[in-house]
Structures are given as C-alpha cells and as structure tokens.
Amino acid sequence: MVAKEIVVCIIIIIGALQALEDEYYCKNEEGRYKICRRCNDVSGSCDVDYDNEDCRCDNIQLYSPLTEGLKGGSKCLDGYCYVGGETSACKDLQDDDNIDNWALNVKGVEWHHEKGDFYRSKEACNGNNKVESNTGNEDFIMGVKILKDKLLTPGEKRNGSNLIIGGATHYSDYAEDHKDCQQQCIERCDVCGSWSYDTIEEECYLFTMDGCCGQNDKREDNKDYISGYVCKKCWSTRNECPSVGCSLKERQTVSGCKTSQSAGDGAGPSDFNSASGLLRVDKIHVNEDPCACIPTVTRRGKNRCRRQKCVDVPGCKDLRRCRPGRKRNT
C-alpha cells in the first residue's frame, strides 16, 4: 500500500513539473510588444528555466517602426534576443535606446517587472544558451482537439411558417479545410478565441474568448483534428489569463472588429458566450427564411448545410445564423 502511495505521489510531482515547464502568461499590445512570463504577476523575476548565472533569452518581442513588425524572441530569428534588465548574466548587452530608438515606445510597459528596461543580446542566442519556448496561441496545431469553452448559438427549426429558436448548441459549420475553419473564428473576432476542425467530418467548431486562458489545460490529442487560436490581446498556457489588462472585455476589444454581439458598452457577455438558450416562436409572413443555410456536398460526398455570409443575405439580421464575412487575410 505504501509503495502504491509513493507511485501516486511521483506521478503527481511529475505532472506538476510538466505543467510548470509549459506555463506562460502572455500579453500582446499592438504596435508595442509581445511578452510572455512564467508567472502571473510582475512583482519580480519569475524565471524557472535556468539559474540567474546563465545568459538566456527572455520571451520578449518589441515592435520595430522600421520593419513594422516584432523583433527579438527566444527563437533568435533576428540573430539576437531581448533580456530584461542589466542584471542579466549576458556580457554583450546593448540598449536599444542607443541603437535606433526601437524600444522607446515600450518604456513603462506594465507586463514585465523591468518596466521596459530591455537589452539586446547575441550571446543569449549562442550554443547551449539558446532555449526556445512554446508560449501557446498557436495558429495551427496538428492532432489536437479543443474541448472547453464552447461557443454557443441557439438551435433552430421550422414548423410551417413559424421559426422556432430554442436551446443552445455548440457552434459548428461545414468548412472546406482547417484554414477555412480558422477564418470562421477570425470573422467572429470579438467572441471567438479558438477553433477545432474535424478532418473526417469536415466540421468546424468554435470556442469563446475564455478559450484563450489555460490553453494547454483544455485540449487533448486527437489525430483527426486540427486546432488553433486567434487570441490577439493576451492568453495563457495554464491556469487563468494574465492578471493585468486581460479581462473578458479587454480580450473582446479587437482592433478593426465590427461583429460585436455584446450588450451595452461591450463589457457584458455576448450571445455566443452564454450557455442560456433563447426560447421563442417567431411568425414569418413569407415562406422563405433569409437566414437559411445553403445545402452543400462536401469533398467527401457528405451532405452539409453551410451558413451564408451576412453580406450576401441583407434580409438576415441575426448574426448568430450567418457569417460576418470579414475580408480574408492575405
């Protein structure tokens, strides 16, 4: 019995260590920075990958006005990375302020204990010093199925001239491929945080903005699925989202997004986030349903019904039953 308890304790400890190795809390502020930390506060350094004596990259990317993109990061794609503060063990620290003023716009950043005191280092990218990190929010993950925070939309059926809407079902729609599924999530940019594509059934499933938080805790391996995330502001790989500037309202406030379903000033939960169904019977004076989905035969020869784009059906005013149809990314 004692041996069994020891084995259980070892398994628990191993699980805890594994969770610690991929635990990140990330914030992305457009035009300024993307920073991922190993702890959910900014009271001090929270490095767990290495000793303070080591010269290693921090998960810091800073916006460059010259290239209009992010520079740095643990992958060292620019030949250098950023480290926080002069206390780093790296011997080749360079202050961006004295190079090309790239980092001037991140002074006072709230999601780092150094508050924007960042330095470049090439030494941190050399040999055994280089440690790449998987900080979550992947665009595509092969063989992974997302399980929690389902995006809900009312069920619907016709009874003669009556349209009956009631209950709540997980949002799904036919998609040609996983990129098409990703686009369906992007189109609902202020309510959808992640998606999963069933490659066998060619079905796309969407998940709420809460899916941005604790990403690795809410999925499983499944060879038939491809999944991904579209979290623009902030996310975490474990536990809750970052404690600073990552409320639901802030996650839903996406630049250029015009598909908001939230009540009032946008701070409240959207129709899609709620598990409560809408129950009503609407009298329709014409036989045609402007929001009706389009019968489709998939590449595998299966019958599906695909939601129309809202711009193609002006008579449909219910964004729960048509696709916003934002312009595809190029």
> Cα torsion at 110, 111, 117, 123 (round to 10°)?
-170
Residues 6 or more apart whose CB falls under 8 angstroms from that of 154 comprise 165, 166, 167, 168, 169, 277, 278, 320
pLDDT above 70 coverage of the chain, percent:
65
Tokens, residue 36: 């991922």
| Whole-prediction pTM | 0.72
Tokens, residue 53: 């004596």
Tokens, residue 263: 């009540």
Give 257-282 pLDDT, tens digit per residue: 655 443 333 334 444 544 444 444 55
Give 111-128 pLDDT, tens digit per residue: 888 877 788 889 989 887
Buried b (16+ CB within 10 A) or exposed e, 254-268: beebebbbbeeeeee
Q: How many whole angstroms separate alpha carbon 294 and alpha carbon 287?
A: 16
Q: Are 107 and 189 in contact (CB under 8 A)?
A: no
The dihedral region occupied by 152, where left means phi > 0, alpha psi between -120 and 50, and beta the remainder, is: beta
Which regions of the chain carry the CATH code 3.50.4.10? 141-312
Q: Are 119 and 96 in contact (CB under 8 A)?
A: yes
Q: Residue 119: which H helix or E strand, with range?
A: strand 118-121
Q: Are 195 and 146 in contact (CB under 8 A)?
A: yes
Which CATH fold topology does 141-312 show?
Answer: Hepatocyte Growth Factor (3.50.4)
Instruction: Give the Å distances, CA to CA, from 302 to 175, 199, 206, 296.
Output: 12, 13, 21, 8
Give 229-254 pLDDT, tens digit per residue: 999 999 999 999 998 889 898 888 87
Confidence band, pLDDT 50/70/90 cuts, at residue 7: very low
Mean pLDDT, the chain, whole residue set: 75
Instruction: Give the Å distances, CA to CA, from 129 to 57, 64, 314.
Output: 8, 25, 58
- Residue with the bigger pLDDT between 304 and 127: it is 127
